[in-house]
Structure 1
Amino acid sequence: MSADRAALQRALDRGEREGGSVEFKERLTRTTHLADGRLESLVAQLRHRILSGDGEATYVVGVTDNGGIAGISPAAFSESMDVLSLLADEAGAHIDDVETWGVGDGADADGLVGVATLREGSVLEADDDHIVVGTAGHVDHGKSTLVGSLVTGSADDGQGGTRSFLDVRPHEMERGLSADLSYGVYGFDEDGPVRMDNPHRKSDRAEIVKSANRLVSFVDTVGHEPWLRTTIRGLVGQKLDYGLLVVAADDGPTRTTREHLGILLATELPTIVAITKTDMVSGERVDEVEREVERVLRNADRTPLSVGRHGVAAAIDEISEQVVPIVATSAVTKVGLDTLDELFEQLPKTGAEEGAFSMYVDRTYNVTGVGAVASGTIRSGGVEAGDELVVGPLADGTFRPVEVRSIEMHYHRVDEAAAGRIVGIALKGIRESDLERGMVLLPRESDPAAVREFEAEVMVLNHPTRIDDGYEPVVHLETVSETASIHPEGGQLLPGDTGVARVRFKFRAYSIEEGQRFVFREGRSKGVGTVTGITGVE
């Protein structure tokens, strides 16, 4: 066996012994190993191995019970690591390291065998040094490619190869378009950026969370116009600290660019503009596009700041709702990526709110043996495993008591998480089928209300004629996306008008508070608003 397999050979030589710290598994599956009864015995087994190894255990995956190398597919190995992570969490431990090797020679080396090192205790103390960045921009302007290069440090191949690190659905890979929100993460320690070697492995994301002193999470939104609703959900529904608007140098600002910029600025999100694909055009064209971007920003009453002319320090000092830094970049040549690194390493957190814990549900899913999981960005406060919460409102307007079973962040289990973190929270006391996007998780003692109607100050950004009483757009507030009727005070609002209106959700109630901002949209019509009072509670 080659030298690079020394860790595997050592584990095989030690063997699986009673009272030892080594365990052999061919594979672990959610359906089999997380089932009732089996879960408890496997957790007890893992805890025994940890104790036998004085706080450390070794799991060899992809081998038979007698240590024969079998090899399993990459998908089966990934699932095995997911299951092992869940077992470790239940046992009060965590996966500290994973090494893998191919099984077979040449073209036949399609199986994997791996050694996972597990250690006792939680792996991460939650902190506040974590910023969340939402991307926006026209389709094919390079949002996902830019983020893929940032989180890996890899240059793109000129065909958008690094964007595959963020794609979440097979049809997106085939078409080269993103149709839903996707996520990426990288970080920084005292030596600089901490990136992923293999973004397709969940364990690599977990390693970033474990080792970085500062985290940068990206919510990568959708550029194709038919999915503008999804883009709005990403920019409004996540607790973002900054926006990153991309403009391709070979195309320049488009109508979609202006639309996305309008949403970012209307929600008062400090924003950076990245001019992408500078490798495809001349320097003169890059300068021309930068001037076009500056004109668009000035027309929106914002002040552009060229980082190339004024420097990173000026951008960090000046960035605000009014001042928008502009950076020229290329994912192919990596020009400008070090500038974005500097910005993301030093920019202060802006999106977190103080107060009690709250999180609006963005996604839901079910994990066999664990149950319902609600995913979203923590809006305020913090949450710990074991906390007693309520979730709702349900369809009947009530809130259901639940308990936090576990918390996961970028595929990494944590004991607690603070405001601004993108997390998945496993819940006891509710089925996944009863959870919906737009619901909110709150402390048990909060006594929330289900709001059907509220008063707001609204501004019409764009409308072909006028907004009359009873106008029905889709309102996007936090992760809520719901048709609502708008009833302006005085009966109507014209484009550019700001006024008071009564807003009523058409189909059901949600948890709404004074001061929350929202976007409303219907066709080419758009506007923004702020909740000023609650007028209808169920």
Structure 2
Amino acid sequence: MSADRAALRRALERGEREGGNVEFKERLTRGVHLADGRLESLAAQLRHRILSGDGEATYVVGVTDDGGIAGISPDAFSESMDVLSLLAEEAGAHIDDVETWGVGDGDGLVGVATLQEGAVLDVDDDHIVVGTAGHVDHGKSTLVGSLVTGDPDDGQGGTRSFLDVQPHEMERGLSADLSYGVYGFDEEGPVRMDNPHRKSDRARVVEESDRLVSFVDTVGHEPWLRTTIRGLVGQKLDYGLLVVAADDGPTKTTREHLGILLATELPTIVAITKADVVSDERVREVEREVERLLRNADRTPLLVERHGVETALDEINEQVVPVLTTSAVTKEGLDALDELFEHLPKTSATEGAFSMYIDRTYNVTGVGAVASGTVRSGTVEAGDELLVGPLADGSFREVEVRSIEMHYHRVDEASAGRIVGIALKGIGEADLDRGMVLLPREADPTAVREFEAEVMVLNHPTRIDDGYEPVVHLETISETASIHPEGGQLLPGDTGTASVRFKFHPYMVEEGQRFVFREGSSKGVGTVTDIVDEE
């Protein structure tokens, strides 16, 4: 048996014996194992295994009673995990981890499920999501790295390495690691990560915190502004955090990012970073540049150093922008940011039926298709029946929620603002796409190809004519669309009515949604005012 099957080998060697914490199951089915009172007896058996293992049990699925490797189909394995999850809930426990391996020449699976005592974490904490923006090398990843770990930077961007996204983490487990950093607060103060690379460390922060702060990364390089727009528009953000390096000052990219933050009416904080590498006089100079930049955008800067954190908490909104000076090396300003993030109110709307625009999709062996994103409204629970779409033909498909994870921690439910991964039954990963939406099964959604909007041109070298084709970013949708201004054209700085038509694919669009459109150096913003019915 290969080295990567070590967990399976250990479980088989320990064997299924009286007084042990290992249980062998070839498969578990709803029809057999949840019928005629068997749920209670099997839950009691599971409870016995957990007590025998001092709070932990190991279930090997896809093996015979004597430990022989049998292997079962992916569908049978998924059903077995569903049943095991119900048994665990009945026994006051939860599935903490599942590892699977292929067996034989076909698609058979064998797996090891680790179960822990205690119910699945019920996350009812306050949770805000912050979108970070700023020019490359202005220190946003380093700043966030120091916030979530509490460690000072080494002056070489050392804390930034904590936040590098590891692609294999997305491939190996049911995770929604959209945010590149998370920390929290309890009654004693900040709850930080010791090592953000460790999945269990993120789960610990989620479990221990009464309030969570997730940071959604954006890209600082100018060629990747499209990715930045996706991060700022496509997530259910509560606040923006714009960084400006004290040695460099505001740049063209800074102005681009600030324009997007403010155009989408996101309350924003500006952090002047790298204060340790320049003189106090240079810091004051950059502060004045930032103040001018904000005033030119019809916003009111509020210097936190002068007016205090409490005033910033009282005054921050779409018009008032707190500005503070920070250093990840000396930790200057980090206490003020902690205080802000601990007490800032949630701003994104949470009422209404469940909805979530899909940002990423991936496949997990033994689990199936996973859609990740930020819950836009309402609440979703494991077992819920949903609709997903629109598919290419404009239809919506019925699916079921297998399980939900947030920052590597299995949760029973997730509400608006949570960044989650949702495992779906009834659809393959190949049929899911970014820009699709998850809705309750009783919803009656309509795929939209064209809509009316109020648009404002922020920047364009000449004018926008009828049929102009930029990329429209709305929620997690990024699609080429043609714009048809009323009157035939729009000049830079103009606001007017226009029809917007997606070029390749219909999407779920609603009145009131805001969007950004961009093509080359041109960009603008808009608000959906009406949906055009397709005849």
Give the whole-Å Cα distance in 1 for the aligned partners of 2:456 and 2:339. 36
Query: Would you say the 8 A contact 2:299–2:320 is kept in 1?
Result: yes
Query: Would you say the 8 A contact 1:450–1:537 is kept in 2?
Result: no
Match of 2:266 in 1: 269
Runs of at least 4 residues of structure 1 off by over 6 A? 38-41, 43-47, 85-88
Match of 2:120 in 1: 122
What's the offset of the Cα at 1:352? 2.9
Which amino acid is 1:121 matched to? A
SS of equivalent to 2:442: helix
- Cα RMSD of the aligned pairs, angstroms, is 2.9
SS of equivalent to 1:164: helix
Give the whole-Å Cα distance in 1 for the aligned partners of 2:459 and 2:218. 22
SS of equivalent to 1:369: coil
Match of residue 428, structure 2, among 426, 431, 436: 431
Note the alpha carbon deviations across 1:454-511, whole angstroms, 9 max, x for none: 0000000000000000000000000000000000000000000000000000001000
Q: Does 1:390 align with 2:384?
A: no
Note the alpha carbon deviations across 1:43-96, whole angstroms, 9 max, x for none: 9999845434449523699xxxxxxxxxxxxxxxxxxxxxxx999856333478
Query: Would you say the 8 A contact 1:373–1:432 is kept in 2?
Result: yes
Give the whole-Å Cα distance in 2 for the aligned partners of 1:46 and 1:199. 35
Query: Would you say the 8 A contact 1:88–1:118 is kept in 2?
Result: no
Query: Would you say the 8 A contact 1:16–1:22 is kept in 2?
Result: no
Give the whole-Å Cα distance in 2 for the aligned partners of 1:481 and 1:409. 25
Give the whole-Å Cα distance in 2 for the aligned partners of 1:143 and 1:300. 22
Q: Does 1:324 align with 2:314?
A: no
Percent of aligned positions that are identical:
77
Note the alpha carbon deviations across 1:169-205, whole angstroms, 9 max, x for none: 589xxxxxxxx96521110000000011121111111
Which amino acid is 1:336 matched to? G
Q: Does 1:198 align with 2:195?
A: yes
Give the whole-Å Cα distance in 2 for the aligned partners of 1:452 and 1:262. 27
Question: What is the correspondence of 1:485-524 to structure 2 with a 5 Å cutoff?
Answer: 485-524=482-521
Match of residue 360, structure 1, among 357, 362, 366: 357
SS of equivalent to 1:445: coil
Query: Would you say the 8 A contact 2:486–2:497 is kept in 1?
Result: yes
Note the alpha carbon deviations across 1:279-329, whole angstroms, 9 max, x for none: 111111111111111110000000000001100000000000000001111
Change (3 A) 1:491 1:409: same
Q: Does 1:312 align with 2:309?
A: yes
Give the whole-Å Cα distance in 2 for the aligned partners of 1:88 and 1:417. 21
Change (3 A) 1:96 1:38: closer
Match of residue 407, structure 1, among 404, 407, 414: 404
Query: Would you say the 8 A contact 2:125–2:212 is kept in 1?
Result: no
Note the alpha carbon deviations across 1:371-408, whole angstroms, 9 max, x for none: 11100000011101111100000011100000111110
Note the alpha carbon deviations across 1:237-282, whole angstroms, 9 max, x for none: 0000000000011100000000000000000000000111111111
Match of 1:345 in 2: 342
Match of 1:241 in 2: 238
Match of 1:66 in 2: none
What's the offset of the Cα at 1:450? 0.4
TM-score (norm. length: structure 1): 0.81
SS of equivalent to 2:19: coil
**Bigger mean CA deviation after superposition, 433-442 or 193-202:** 193-202
Give the whole-Å Cα distance in 2 for the aligned partners of 1:217 and 1:60. 32
Query: Would you say the 8 A contact 2:313–2:340 is kept in 1?
Result: yes
Question: What is the correspondence of 1:135-214 to structure 2 with a 5 Å cutoff?
Answer: 135-169=132-166, 182-214=179-211
Match of residue 474, structure 1, among 471, 480, 498: 471
Give the whole-Å Cα distance in 2 for the aligned partners of 1:353 and 1:506. 31
What's the offset of the Cα at 1:157? 1.3
Query: Would you say the 8 A contact 1:488–1:499 is kept in 2?
Result: yes
Q: Does 1:420 align with 2:413?
A: no
Paired residues in the alignment total 465
Which amino acid is 2:309 matched to? V
Change (3 A) 1:24 1:150: farther
Give the whole-Å Cα distance in 2 for the aligned partners of 1:217 and 1:89. 28
Query: Would you say the 8 A contact 1:519–1:529 is kept in 2?
Result: yes
SS of equivalent to 2:433: coil
What's the offset of the Cα at 1:360? 0.1
Change (3 A) 1:169 1:211: closer
Query: Would you say the 8 A contact 2:178–2:373 is kept in 1?
Result: no
Query: Would you say the 8 A contact 2:139–2:274 is kept in 1?
Result: yes
Change (3 A) 1:453 1:191: same
Give the whole-Å Cα distance in 1 for the aligned partners of 2:16 and 2:465. 77
Q: Does 1:532 align with 2:529?
A: yes
Q: Give ranges in structure 2 of 5+ residues lacking alignment.
A: 1-13, 34-38, 60-80, 98-113, 169-176
SS of equivalent to 1:403: strand
Which amino acid is 1:284 matched to? E
Which amino acid is 2:131 matched to? G
What's the offset of the Cα at 1:225? 1.2
Q: Does 1:20 align with 2:19?
A: yes
Give the whole-Å Cα distance in 2 for the aligned partners of 1:434 and 1:154. 43
Query: Would you say the 8 A contact 1:376–1:422 is kept in 2?
Result: yes
Match of residue 226, structure 1, among 213, 223, 226: 223
Give the whole-Å Cα distance in 1 for the aligned partners of 2:20 and 2:320. 57
Give the whole-Å Cα distance in 2 for the aligned partners of 1:17 and 1:502. 66
Which amino acid is 1:451 matched to? V
Give the whole-Å Cα distance in 2 for the aligned partners of 1:329 and 1:434. 45
Give the whole-Å Cα distance in 2 for the aligned partners of 1:249 and 1:278. 6
What's the offset of the Cα at 1:537? 3.6
Query: Would you say the 8 A contact 1:477–1:519 is kept in 2?
Result: yes
Which amino acid is 1:202 matched to? K
SS of equivalent to 1:352: coil
Match of 1:215 in 2: 212
**Bigger mean CA deviation after superposition, 484-493 or 15-24:** 15-24
Note the alpha carbon deviations across 1:429-476, whole angstroms, 9 max, x for none: 000010000000001111100000000000000000000000000000
TM-score (norm. length: structure 2): 0.82
Q: Give ranges in structure 1 of 5+ residues lacking alignment.
A: 1-14, 26-32, 62-84, 98-115, 172-179
Q: Does 1:335 align with 2:332?
A: yes
SS of equivalent to 2:147: helix
SS of equivalent to 1:446: coil
Change (3 A) 1:21 1:413: farther
